[in-house]
Amino acid sequence: MHKFLWGASTSGFQVEGGYNLGGKGLSTTDVRHVKEGIADTKVASDHYHHFKEDILLMKELGLKAYRFSFCWARIMPDGHHVNQEGLEFYDQIIQLCLENDIEPIPTLYHFEMPQALVDEFGGWKSRKCIDAFVEYAKICFQKWQGTIKHWVTINEQLIAMAASDLNGNHENDKVLQTKNMYQMSYHASLAEKKVMKLLKEIDVNAKIGVVNAVQNVYPYSSSPEDVLAAMDAEELMMYMLLDMSVKGSYSFRVKSILKNMDCYPVQEKGDDEILKSSKPDFIGINYYSSICVKENKEHRINYQLPPFFRSSMFEVCPNEHLKKTKWMSNGIDPLGIRSIIYKIYNRYALPIIITENGMAYSDVLENNRVHDTYRIEYLSAHIKEVLRAKEEGYPVFGYCPWSFIDVVSSHQGFSKRYGLVYVNRTDQDIMDCKRYKKDSFYWYKEIIERNGENI
Ligand code: BG6
């Protein structure tokens, strides 16, 4: 019997810092954060200098797995040549995790890529990016052949491709920008397929999965129009990319929606073969809350990005049944995570790991402690639902709260925190980045020790 992977998550640009150290090239995320004036990724949580201490904290917490991401620009600063120092940085993290019985689960692509590749050929807009990504994956797979048991290809491709500020999709013409987005996403799907196949050639025993932001969608009312709107929303926000990853094609409904928008990606001869050449061994679910939608009465095609949140088929609206907080504006919905496990397993029949689930809050450090009862309540309610699905026999093999330590959130910097460990800095002041264990840290430690019993 395999042990359940009680883990925790972070991502490269959100924790590392050291943005120009150790030979690292500029990442798209570095460029975006400077432009938007968000708390800088230059230092982030300063994991670059604190990683040994951080892994010891993971050990103290009793983590069985650490899900993190490589920064592509640290390993390949210009997208073509290998930076040995970058590889060694991640090797130190991996080895230290292993020495402490923590399984490292690296993600190859978590929102960021070398800015050089965007400058050179427009990043994912070009098919050249497929080859560049495969080359990068090859270097990683060869380096850690026999060491890494679970790899992740791309984190939340849907979000990554829609964030035009992260990938150079800066068209003024919104129709063209939206078309580009679907084309880029298609290229990323091709790259993902090639990489999944490649891993099996390099390391037959290693497993590889995809991670998606999984949206559990409810209809606002039982009106047939709202129910149909919710079905379409799930097709676009949840199944579109998973169908591609697992089945190698978009669903019939997604195809017809994309064609209607005149956004169906341009395909080349031989693509179908690539798309059918591999599939993931597992599915990673990032779940924060559910979404509620109603019919979009205007039925006008909306070319604002991200198109799947602003569609002609549906309109996102508040769910009256859920408790909302400042940062959790869609509401807190623990039952949603169990529904998602049912839906995903019913459709794909693949093992599942929860790769992200977390409660954002503007935590306050008082007398060196953070009393984050709200986070404990949130995590506890969600873990209960995950374990219930597991008891029912669904093959859920791990759970990783977002995030292990406080990270730079994607748009709100350090004013929005998720960590089990507090990082002493603000958006304006880097301070000492000292680590403080929050109450949720001690609580999660006990949950792991009891293997989730009597939660
Ligand atoms: C997920 C991402 O979408 O959500 C993380 O994988 C991100 O990188 C997390 O930080 C929370 O979102 P945000 O916007 O609050 O940082």
Q: What is the pLDDT of residues 247-262, one digit of tens each?
A: 999 999 999 999 998 9
Domains of the chain and any CATH numbers = 5-219+282-287+326-449 (3.20.20.80)
Average pLDDT score over residue span 350-365: 97
pLDDT at 309: 79
Average pLDDT score over residue span 308-328: 89
pLDDT at 451: 96
Per-residue pLDDT of 113-129, as tens digits, reads 999 999 999 999 999 99
- Ligand 1 centre to CA of 69 (Å) is 13
Q: Which atom of ligand 1 is nearest to the CA of 411?
A: 14
Lowest mean pLDDT among 67-76, 192-201, 323-332, 342-351: 323-332
Say yes or no to pLDDT of 312 above 50: yes
Residues near ligand 1 (Cβ within 6 A): 11, 14, 155-156, 159, 213, 286, 356, 360, 402, 409-411, 416
pTM above 0.95, yes or no: yes
Q: Does the ipTM surpass 0.95? A: yes
Phi then psi for residue 202, to 5 deg, are -90, -40
Nearest CA to ligand 1 atom 16: 409
Average pLDDT score over residue span 44-63: 98
Average pLDDT score over residue span 368-386: 98
Best mutation site among 402, 417, 418 for ligand 1 pocket (most ligand atoms within 8 Å of CB) = 402
- Ligand 1 centre to CA of 407 (Å) is 9
Which of the residues are catalytic? 356
Q: Please, which contacts does 387-391 make with residues 24 or more away whose CB atoms are closer than 8 Å?
A: 387/452, 387/455, 388/338, 389/338, 389/341, 389/342, 390/4
Say yes or no to pLDDT of 1 above 50: no
- Ligand 1 centre to CA of 158 (Å) is 13
